[in-house]
């Protein structure tokens, strides 16, 4: 009965995770990101030359494979420092601390690009559900929900005035082959796009990675029905 009610009211794992991520985290921290970046830039004027990259770059791997240490995921990504902490009192916790890490991304010419980047943490929940027999959540379910999570989050953020211009969603689907610097290339493509959109780009145009997906492509891959798909018993 609960399952039927959930389907009729269009409730969904991905919808819930996306809204929780926005209301409980992004809506709180994103409006403060540019101030933190501006403070860092005043102390380090040569590192963050392009203001258009003063955003939180949020990684959304459709595999839901979230690596806790970005430096281990890709040696061309190196931790630089943390931005100014954001301290808020939330849900009974006094002075809860929120912070973002700044990374240096090395390109093929050994040039360093700097940005704040982190994974969309709710994807860890989707991955964990696909590993737990009690959740009856298959790999196919996980992929479908990851796509829906991205599409829902994108719609929420696009309608948020507080978060406008403070984020960049980087959604991608990893190739089957192991690539040492796959992740850094994905991030670099987005950084170059932001530079290119607001400055005159000189030299060769950056390549377009085959794995980076946009909202239109995802919409074509996701079921047109807004109703959640029935969960299958096969686990991954």
- Tens digit of each residue's pLDDT, the chain (236 residues): 555 544 444 457 899 999 999 999 999 999 999 899 999 999 888 888 788 999 999 999 999 999 999 999 999 999 999 998 888 878 888 888 999 999 999 999 999 999 999 999 999 998 888 887 766 677 888 899 999 999 999 999 999 999 999 999 999 998 666 678 999 999 999 999 998 875 644 444 444 454 556 555 555 344 444 444 443 334 33
Distance CA 62, CA 79 (A): 24
Answer whether 199's CB lies under 8 Å from 191's CB.
no
pLDDT the model gives residue 203: 44
Contact (Cβ atoms closer than 8 angstroms) between residue 211 and residue 170: no
Phi, psi of 61 (to 5 degrees): -75, 125
pLDDT at residue 233, rounded to an integer? 35
Domains in the chain, please, with CATH? 10-202 (3.40.50.12100)
Q: What is the pLDDT of residue 174?
A: 81
What confidence score (pLDDT) does residue 7 get?
A: 47
pLDDT at position 234:
41
Per DSSP, the three-state class of 81 is: strand
Report pLDDT for 49. Answer: 78
Spatial separation of the C-alpha atoms in residues 177 and 5, rounded to whole Å: 42
The pLDDT of residue 139 is 81
Q: How far is CA 132 from CA 65, 140, 142, 148, 185, in A?
A: 15, 14, 12, 20, 32
pLDDT of residue 177: 64
Report whether 29 contacts 161 (CB < 8 A): no
User: What per-residue confidence (pLDDT) applies to 83?
Assistant: 93
């Amino acid at each position: 009965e609960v399952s039927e009610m959930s389907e009729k009211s269009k409730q969904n794992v991905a919808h819930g995770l996306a809204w929780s991520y926005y209301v409980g985290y992004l809506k709180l921290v994103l409006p403060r990101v540019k101030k933190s970046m501006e403070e860092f830039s005043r102390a380090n004027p040569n590192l963050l030359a392009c203001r258009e990259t003063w955003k939180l770059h949020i990684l959304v791997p459709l595999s839901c494979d979230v690596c806790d240490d970005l430096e281990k995921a890709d040696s061309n990504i190196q931790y630089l420092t943390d931005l100014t902490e954001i301290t808020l009192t939330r849900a009974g916790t006094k002075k809860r601390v929120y912070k973002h890490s700044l990374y240096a991304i090395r390109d093929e010419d050994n040039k360093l690009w700097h940005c704040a980047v982190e994974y969309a943490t709710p994807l860890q929940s989707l991955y964990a559900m696909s590993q737990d027999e009690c959740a009856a959540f298959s790999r196919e379910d996980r992929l479908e929900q990851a796509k829906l999570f991205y599409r829902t989050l994108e719609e929420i953020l696009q309608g948020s005035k507080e978060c406008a211009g403070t984020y960049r969603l980087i959604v991608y689907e990893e190739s089957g082959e192991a690539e040492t610097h796959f992740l850094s290339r994905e991030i670099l493509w987005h950084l170059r796009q932001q530079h290119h959109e607001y400055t005159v780009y000189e030299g060769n145009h950056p390549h377009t990675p085959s794995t980076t997906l946009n909202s239109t492509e995802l919409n074509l891959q996701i079921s047109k029905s807004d109703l959640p798909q029935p969960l299958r018993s096969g686990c991954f």
